[in-house]
Amino acid sequence: MSLERIVKPHILALEPYQPGVPPEQLERELGIEGAIKLASNESPIGPSPRAVAAVREAVASVHRYPDGASFALREKLAGRLGVSGAQLVFGAGADEILELLAKTLLGPGDEVVYAWPSFAMYPIVARGMGATPVQVPLTPDLVHDLDAMRRAVNERTRLVFVCNPNNPTGTSVGAEAFDAFAASLPDSLVLAVDEAYMQYARRPDFPDALTWLRRPGTIAMRTFSKIFGLAGLRIGYGVADAELADYLNRARHPFNVNRLAEVAALAALDDEEHAERSRRVNAEGVEYLSRELRALGIEVWPTDANFVLARTGADLPARLMREGVIIRPLAGFGMPDHARISVGLPEENERLVKTLRRLRESGS
């Protein structure tokens, strides 16, 4: 018997998330060594040494379940952010917070409004619950069109995502526009601000989503995967008004964040120096890549994140891949001429630029 008859129709229709190709896979397929991946917006400098030490120590205790309440991490983060511990919800990556929002709020007939192109998980979590994704195109400058998003909100809307800075464009909205948008929303929906890249934002008027936690039904989502370099451990969190945080905490599994991730996150929060180095390496990489790509005649957008959006032409990602350099093509986002390039270590960025020059010179 085919299971098609019993699987929910919206799951049958679901297209899975396409992760970046791992370098090991490319090396296997091409029979090469030394492939580099500038495709998943990971931290090129690696995890904080303090986090690594904390994981080493904690690994001897993995026969025990983690602290399901994440007490130590909750206390530290609450103090850092100036919120109460009850306003926090932890997840296996910010991805899980997206899932928890969907599970808590959405069902068939409900609508989810978000910008497009934006993070590919928004339509996936919405469709996964049988809800209807409502995509609002970015402006011609590739920024969230908050006026159009407001107009897309109706009585069926349960959830609005604002990805700030936006993945995959690196663009951001400023405080004035964001505040006006947040103030205009009805109280019958949840405003979810995805701040996965907020620590890289350079604009001085970057919005403070936390000031909106006074609005019932508001959540800011953050992650330890990017600036803190812990993507492989899977830990992220939401900061919400206490009522929403309570519902999300009810919906999560009791031990959704593993013990090693918890101790690593705690240690990473104390390693200011590492976070600062992450930021600096990124800022220098953004500057280098933007300058060198433009010198090659490739259009590059200003970015507030740890990647740049470039108009590379449709075939360049595949050509680079054959040279062992993985970047992210954006055809699946309706931007076939564009690619997203994550900032790497200086030598990785240089390898990309040299490969581009070589491809250009050989005309291949």
Say if residues 201 and 166 touch (Cβ distance below 8 Å): no
Question: Residue 218 is encoded by which pair of tokens?
Answer: 């508001």
Q: Residue 110 CB, nearest distance to ligand PLP (Å)?
A: 21
Binding residue for ligand PLP, selected from 129, 189, 219, 231, defined by CB under 6 A: 231
Say if residues 343 and 288 touch (Cβ distance below 8 Å): no
Binding residue for ligand PLP, selected from 94, 124, 131, 182, defined by CB under 6 A: 94
Taking residues 28 to 67 in sequence order and writing x for each that binds ligand PLP by CB under 6 A, - otherwise, the string is -------------x--------------------------
Sign of CA dihedral 312, 352, 340, 121: positive
Q: Residue 306 CB, nearest distance to ligand PLP (Å)?
A: 10
223 binds ligand PLP (CB under 6 A): yes
Say if residues 61 and 248 touch (Cβ distance below 8 Å): no
Binding residue for ligand PLP, selected from 104, 225, 256, 282, defined by CB under 6 A: 225
Q: Residue 261 CB, nearest distance to ligand PLP (Å)?
A: 10
Q: Which residue is nearest to ligand PLP (CB)?
A: 93
330 binds ligand PLP (CB under 6 A): no
Question: Residue 297 is encoded by which pair of tokens?
Answer: 């005649």
Say if residues 200 and 169 touch (Cβ distance below 8 Å): no
Q: DSSP alpha helices (H): ranges in the chain?
A: 9-12, 23-30, 49-58, 71-81, 94-105, 121-128, 146-152, 175-184, 242-251, 259-269, 272-295, 316-322, 346-362
Q: Residue 235 CB, nearest distance to ligand PLP (Å)?
A: 7
Tokens 């800011």 belong to: 220
167 binds ligand PLP (CB under 6 A): yes
- Nearer of residues 42 and 292 to ligand PLP, judged by Cβ: 42
93 binds ligand PLP (CB under 6 A): yes
